[in-house]
Amino acid sequence: MYGFHGRLLHIDLTGQKSSWHELEESRLRAFLGGIGLGTSLLYDFAPPGVEPLSPANPLIFTSAPLAGTGLTTTAKFAVVTKSPLTGFIADSLSSSFFALELKRAGLDALVITGRASSPVYVLVNDGKVEIRDGGQLWGKSAKETESLIRAELQEEAVRVAAIGRAGENRVRFATISNEGRHAGRGGVGAVMGSKKLKAIALRGHDAVCVADPVGVAAIADSMRQRSLGTLTAKYREIGTVANLALFNRLGTLPTRNFQQPTFDHAEALSGESLTENNFSRRHGCACCTIRCERLFKSLTGAEQRLEYETLFALGPLCGIEDPESVIRAAQLCDHYGLDTISTGGTLAWAMECADKGLLPEAQDLGLSFGKAGALLKTISAIAERSGLGALLAEGSRRAAIEVGGESAYWAMHVKGLELPGYEPRSLKTMALGLAVNPRGACHNRSGAYEADFSAQVDRFRADPGRGTLVAASEDFGAVLDSLIVCKFLRKCFTDFYAEAADLLSRVTGWSCSDAELRQVGERINTLKKLFNMREGWQPQDDWLPPRLLGETLPTGVAQGVGLTVNELREMIQGYYRAREWDENGFIPEKKLKELGLPAEVQNVQTV
């Protein structure tokens, strides 16, 4: 088999055993790798209704057909599981050398089930599997864990993905990190912690074979050149932090828990100002020519990677105006292994509760919009689940249920996943994308905002036609995330589906068409939905927080713009129509058959 190894490694931590299984070519062709393959395996390995933090919930790492081919931005892997934050699918991507090592380790997927009796880490070394004592690693950060494992194995080239304290303590938005990057959203780190699995260490020498090495090399060379042009200049020259100043000016920078779409102190936090005042160096993932990572210096001289989402969530969303405090907060999140978006979103919820007198513990801590000291203390408390942190470690949705009263109104999440830094009221296509995505409020699985930031639509107005745009964006994203190609390369394709089909054909030896790839994208998203339906999805789960439907925007160029219940309802109907689902969002059997998906889940419709 070209492009894949055709093998899956299953490790059962309860029974301390491992087994290798064949991965059928038909499954690989239907779902590719990355999140597609992960979704397919999750559907099969997860017992229906499984409790996310129970031993039976599978934690699935997948490689992808393009990993290891030398194509720029493809050193990526996926982590898929049932999310402890949403109760639905969690599919997160991370990247760099761990992704290459996963491929070299000779497997396309690693499925971990069970729970060890004491902390362990897993070593997969050229096909040999060891479940090793991780007691000495427990309590360490992911970064420290990487170093300690390398030292223990006396092997510098070993690649490690690990959890920090947040994962150990099953914080529902804990990450899994490798080389400073994170599989960030949905709480995959909490699932790993629930298995008492501190880390996965990989070493391998299994070469990746492609069907047409000369053809793949030529495409790789072309993409490398394209990746260095003006289309990716933003990522190369300033990074994603560039979004902040522009979003502020466009009235789409969520501020103070989505109370307003502009931040008075945006200039100080802008990517442009950070570049001028705090820039330290540029960095990139393995095998990437774009190298979008920007490291910024704090006053202590320590370097910290900042992305827009981190900057927004720990800055304007919490009313924090001082770059130094945001850098420090980001350092803490990385140290503990916390998703910065959900951390910021949950803290912003707590700040609003405190400001409105609903959460005395938060008031006692001094937690309030703009109070950096209390924010930093609370991040540590969340990771350690101490005091108020124990409540906030549950995420804003569960915390609001616990606190009760009006607090649910201030919990800004979809399906339990806190919203990213895109104000839905002034980005109507994105509003729909956030409402319907199977992962919850996600800006990665759907790039619906692209339509809003173009001449294609009026971003302040809603119309049912947005459904087609959102579905197309999700399907496009699913193919990218399953090949896997970094989204920052997406604009460098002239005709994505045709070029991707050609590339995949040269890698695998299959004869793929653009139509086949389009259907793969649809199949993956439909199976995600199917999984969610099996786990209890109901039509009301595709919705937005009430604040977004009850308040118009008070500041900036979008002042006075709102989103009504009817507008959202009509857009959702438009999305279901575009997907050829029924008016309640359930999938007709005909569609399942067309995509080759299991039909038994139809039972859910009658629940």
Does the protein bind other proteins through residue 412 (CB under 8 A)? no
Q: Give 290 or 372: the residue with its C-beta nearer to other proteins.
A: 290
Q: Give 63 or 444: the residue with its C-beta nearer to other proteins.
A: 444
297 phi, psi to nearest 5 deg = -95, 135
**Least distance in angstroms from the C-beta of 553 to other proteins:** 9
Q: How far apart, in whole angstroms, are the C-alpha atoms of residue 328 and residue 316?
A: 15
The number of residues that bind other proteins (CB under 8 A) is 49
**Least distance in angstroms from the C-beta of 422 to other proteins:** 8
Does the protein bind other proteins through residue 49 (CB under 8 A)? no
Binding characters for other proteins, 249-268, by CB under 8 A (x = yes): xxx-----------------
Q: Give 129 or 246: the residue with its C-beta nearer to other proteins.
A: 246
Residues 397/407, Cβ–Cβ less than 8 Å:
no
**Least distance in angstroms from the C-beta of 575 to other proteins:** 21
Strand order in the sheet with 197-203: 128-133, 120-125, 197-203, 159-162, 176-178, 181-183
**Least distance in angstroms from the C-beta of 583 to other proteins:** 26
- Find the part of the chain contacting other proteins (CB under 8 A) among 88-96, 229-237, 316-324, 325-333: 229-237
Residues 327/306, Cβ–Cβ less than 8 Å:
yes
Q: Give 468 or 555: the residue with its C-beta nearer to other proteins.
A: 555
Binders of other proteins among 279-298, rule CB under 8 A? 292
- Find the part of the chain contacting other proteins (CB under 8 A) among 73-81, 102-110, 441-449, 507-515: 441-449
Interface with other proteins (CB under 8 A), residue from 22, 24, 51, 237: 237
Closest CA to 270 of 245, 301, 293, 288: 245
Strands (DSSP E) found in 211-307: 279-283, 293-297, 303-305
Does the protein bind other proteins through residue 487 (CB under 8 A)? yes
How far is CA 160 from each of CA 74, 156, 163, 200, 305, rounded to the nearest angstrom? Answer: 18, 11, 10, 6, 19
Q: Give 100 or 430: the residue with its C-beta nearer to other proteins.
A: 430
Sign of the C-alpha dihedral computed for residues 296, 254, 81 and 573 taken in this order: negative
Binding characters for other proteins, 299-338, by CB under 8 A (x = yes): --------xxx-----------------------------
Does the protein bind other proteins through residue 15 (CB under 8 A)? no
Partners of 22 in beta bridges: 7
Residues 117/508, Cβ–Cβ less than 8 Å:
no
Interface with other proteins (CB under 8 A), residue from 48, 135, 139, 229: 229
Q: Give 349 or 460: the residue with its C-beta nearer to other proteins.
A: 460
Q: How far apart, in whole angstroms, are the C-alpha atoms of residue 544 and residue 458?
A: 20
How far is CA 554 from each of CA 254, 312, 408, 562, rounded to the nearest angstrom? Answer: 12, 19, 21, 10
Does the protein bind other proteins through residue 554 (CB under 8 A)? yes
Residues 352/359, Cβ–Cβ less than 8 Å:
no
Residues 6+ apart with CB under 8 A from 405: 358
Interface with other proteins (CB under 8 A), residue from 16, 386, 552, 605: 552
CA atoms within 13 A on the CB side of 600: 3
Interface with other proteins (CB under 8 A), residue from 447, 521, 545, 585: 447
Does the protein bind other proteins through residue 488 (CB under 8 A)? yes
**Least distance in angstroms from the C-beta of 152 to other proteins:** 36
Binding characters for other proteins, 373-402, by CB under 8 A (x = yes): ------------------------------
- Counting DSSP H helices and E strands in the chain, the numbers are 26, 17
- Taking each helix axis from N to C end, the angle separating 34-45 and 514-534, rounded to the nearest 10 degrees, works out to 40
Q: How far apart, in whole angstroms, are the C-alpha atoms of residue 3 and residue 508?
A: 5
Q: Where along the sequence are the contacts to other proteins (CB under 8 A)?
A: 229-235, 237-240, 242-243, 245-246, 249-251, 271-272, 275, 292, 307-309, 443, 447, 449-450, 453-455, 458, 460-461, 487-488, 490-491, 552, 554-562
